[in-house]
Amino acid sequence: DTEVTQTPKHLVMGMTNKKSLKCEQHMGHRAMYWYKQKAKKPPELMFVYSYEKLSINESVPSRFSPECPNSSLLNLHLHALQPEDSALYLCASSPPGGGSSYEQYFGPGTRLTVT
Amino acid sequence: EDQVTQSPEALRLQEGESSSLNCSYTVSGLRGLFWYRQDPGKGPEFLFTLYSAGEEKEKERLKATLTKKESFLHITAPKPEDSATYLCAVNSGGYQKVTFGIGTKLQVIP
């Protein structure tokens, strides 16, 4: 089973709201990722968690706050977003170890609209 | 810095008309080259990983090949359901970070 699930599928929020995106995988993967994707652009890396610790933060604004409560779950907390943050937010995971460990399996994404 | 260039940006084929998509890359030391398929509004679907020059992998109508400078995704006798954006990505070094190309949007006409 190579399934990564994400909730919600769609989210509309105002600039003063606080919301969270959720991602879950049960493949035993030990690296999890958040990406942002704008229309007609490739996915843009935001954060990487490796063994539940934040290993990469691509200089993302603090209005995005990631959290990894356990090896299967990844959250992205959103606060005071701007309209330009509207995008498809993708979660991915990859297996531990070398070799195939960089194969990333993506979830279906959350379509976020900031009004 | 790793660089990935995909061509063409868009490709329109008749059903059954075979073709190839190109992914050129520049990396300091390739650990893996990945092909993904992405349908509109959905997450990328993993297709293949290639590790070294000369390697080939196949899945249904798709075949991926790798040289030291580029990779090709060959599509044999495509069907309309093969219409999607195909993304190429590379990983180098010891980091869990991949660099994506901009993708090739494939449209297969019945």
User: Among the listed ranges A49-53, A83-87, B80-84, B100-104, which one has the minimum average pLDDT value?
Assistant: A49-53
Structure tokens at B48: 């293949």
Subunit contact B34:A45, Cβ cutoff 8 A: no
Selecting from A42, A94, A107 the residue whose C-beta is nearest the C-beta of B102 gives A42
What is the chain A residue with the closest CA to B49? A103
Selecting from B31, B42, B96 the residue whose C-beta is nearest the C-beta of A50 gives B96
Measured over all CA atoms, what is the biggest interatomic distance in chain A, rounded to whole angstroms?
Answer: 44
Contact B82, B74 (CB under 8 A): no
Structure tokens at B9: 């940006």
Subunit contact A43:B44, Cβ cutoff 8 A: yes
Contacts of A45 in chain B (CB under 8 A): 97-98
Write down the mean pLDDT value for chain B: 94
Query: In this predicted model, what pLDDT tens digit does every residue of B14-62 receive, in sequence order?
Result: 999 999 999 999 988 888 999 999 999 999 999 999 999 999 999 999 9
A40 pLDDT more than 70: yes
Q: Determine the pLDDT at residue A110.
A: 98
Query: In this predicted model, what pLDDT tens digit does every residue of A63-101 receive, in sequence order?
Result: 999 999 998 999 999 999 999 999 999 999 998 765 555
User: Distance, in angstroms, between B25 CA and closest chain A CA?
Assistant: 15
- Of residues A16 and A65, more confidence is placed in A65
Q: Percent of chain A having pLDDT more than 90?
A: 77
Structure tokens at B93: 């070094």
Interface test with B, best of A102, A103, A105, A111 (most B CBs within 10 A): A102
Q: Determine the pLDDT at residue A43.
A: 95
Cβ partners under 8 Å of residue A34, min gap 6: A23, A45, A46, A47, A64, A66, A74, A76, A89, A90, A91
- Mean pLDDT across B69-91: 97
Which of B94, B70, B72 has the alpha carbon at shortest distance from B3?
Answer: B70
Q: Does the beta carbon of B95 lie under 8 angstroms from any beta carbon of chain A? A: yes
pLDDT band at A113 (very low <50, low <70, confident <90, very high): very high
pLDDT band at B94 (very low <50, low <70, confident <90, very high): low
Subunit contact B45:A103, Cβ cutoff 8 A: no
Q: Does the beta carbon of A42 lie under 8 angstroms from any beta carbon of chain B? A: yes
